[in-house]
Structure 1
Amino acid sequence: MAVNPRRRPMVVLYERITDAIHDGAYPPGSTLPSEPKLAAELGVSRPALREALLLLQEDGLITVRRGVGRTVSDQPPRRGFEQLQPMERLLAAGGPPLRVRSLVHVIEEPTDFTTQYLLAPARSELRFWESLLLNEGVPCALGQEWAAPQDVVDQLHPAFGEALRAEPETPARTMLDVLTGLSRTVALTGTSMVSATLLGQHRGEQLGRPADTPVVLITQTVRLESTPLLAAKYLLPTGAPGLPVLQAR
């Protein structure tokens, strides 16, 4: 389903408050400021704020009690795989993100995978990043990420294109972390497939595991409107942190 990149103010506001809750600006059990004060703090209209607060209440992030007001839930729901987030954050179980160790930052020609998932034309040049995710210093996952051709990225998401051209940052980051960090007001959508396979010799050497180690393979495509911006493979071997998946009815 195509998504309008100019999202309603209420949606952006919902995400701002959600981020503030998960970042500790509004700790669990704390009472939110009054509606007029919160609207002034955030620089938004009260109707948009009211809509966002209703959604936050429906999603279990806040509760409303007569005589008390709106209170942040003691155990806010942890964001799951349906929320587009970098893998190093998803696997962190609510704690600090896993550390990223960059292995490769190169430009390469399209492969069968990137032709299929990025619709990359022949002889185009694609940026490829390969990274290890470290849990307390131990490699626990491998990420391989490709960006769409530079002209496509520059046209749809100039800030992301500029970041890709810049030298890799220290500390290292995954490509999806860079993209989502630049996209607070941009409507990205992600599609993922989860399957099982074996690690293989080369990847086993990278992760320090036997070649026949079972792995969960996550194949992900991130789009802006209907155009792919990023395609990735993430390999989670036996013993990797659990991947949270939220469900609702």
Structure 2
Amino acid sequence: MGTSYLEQPLLTSPGQPLRVAVYSRIAHGIRTGVFPLGTALPRETELGTALGVSRTVVREALMLLEEDGLISTRRGVGRFVADAVPHAGLEEFRPLELVLAEPGVTIELRHVELTQQTATDFVSTYLQLADDARFWFREAIASRNGEPIAVVQEYLPVGDDRAGFGAAVEAALPDIDEARSTVLMRIIDRTGLAFVTGVCRIGVSVAGATRAKQLELKAADPVMLLTQTADLDGRPAYLAKVIVAPSVGHLAVRQSSGG
């Protein structure tokens, strides 16, 4: 399974180093269980062949993975997935399933709606679309071990002309009502497209009548609002609004000093 996952086309955006794309592919595989905790990774040469990159690129990506605590090296034996994966916070752009992922926790999405709409002010602003442009709107309810914890609204442009992206969106949508994931997760899983810039705006609000019913809350209960955007080829390509229930607890943002 790991080999077929690695052999999916490795697509990068202009200016993105190959080592970052390789890092993202392997890290995603670790976090989603393609490479189980504590197991050995393929050797450098095998990784390079499967991914279609040089051994130098693989070695640089593995170094980054080790620095971030996702793998470890056993001298004379090989590289292994960490026994426990660090919980990544909001500082890295990733599908919601990975933002909320924790060991022993199952995150699933229940499909609510998929429609094609004309751009609203909200969508036009964030995706930089013309006023008469069309976009896909997908809404789903995210549950953690069966408990509803977030309303996930995804917005993607229709007929995008960036290489591979428009086709990836169209391929991910026909059976999305049967999927237990975000559209973003399906696109990344199937294509490996690398979104090079992600911004997450954090706000607070109240649930309101409709969202309270979806999340099994009271209308006046507080919720966290996450507005995520990501660029592809220097232009906004993905927008999501996530309404998060208080039961999720804290969401971390790692900080470091400059230098």
Cα displacement (A) at 1:223: 1.5
Structure 1 residues 77 and 132, CA gap change in structure 2 (3 angstroms): same
State how 1:50-199 maps to structure 2 within 5 Å: 50-64=59-73, 66=75, 70-95=79-104, 97-148=106-157, 150-151=158-159, 153-156=160-163, 157-163=165-171, 166-199=174-207
TM-score using structure 1 length: 0.81
Instruction: Say which of 234, 239, 245 aligns to 1:231.
Output: 239
How many residues in Structure 1 have an aligned counterpart in Structure 2?
A: 245
Structure 1 residues 119 and 10, CA gap change in structure 2 (3 angstroms): closer
Cα displacement (A) at 1:126: 1.7
CA distance in 2, matches of 1:116, 1:166: 27
Cα displacement (A) at 1:72: 4.0
CA distance in 2, matches of 1:93, 1:9: 28
The structure having more radius of gyration, on CA atoms, is 1
Q: Specify the code of the residue in structure 1 equivalent to 2:135.
A: L
SS of residue paired to 1:239: helix
TM-score using structure 2 length: 0.78
Cα displacement (A) at 1:171: 2.7
Give me the CA root mean square deviation.
3.0
Question: Does the 8 A contact of 1:90 with 1:244 survive in 2?
Answer: no
CA distance in 2, matches of 1:111, 1:25: 38
CA distance in 2, matches of 1:187, 1:231: 12
Deviates more, 1:183-192 or 1:208-217: 183-192
1:112-161 deviation line (CA, Å, top 9, x unaligned): 2112111222222221111111223232111112112x23x244513324
Question: Does the 8 A contact of 2:21 with 2:194 survive in 1?
Answer: no
Question: Does the 8 A contact of 2:35 with 2:41 survive in 1?
Answer: yes
Question: Does the 8 A contact of 1:89 with 1:97 survive in 2?
Answer: no
Q: Specify the code of the residue in structure 2 equivalent to 1:56.
A: L
Higher relative contact order (CA 8 A, sep 6+): 1
CA distance in 2, matches of 1:74, 1:248: 25
SS of residue paired to 1:101: strand
Identity %: 34
Q: Which runs of 4+ in 1 moved over 6 A?
A: none
Question: Does the 8 A contact of 1:80 with 1:244 survive in 2?
Answer: yes
CA distance in 1, matches of 2:202, 2:45: 45
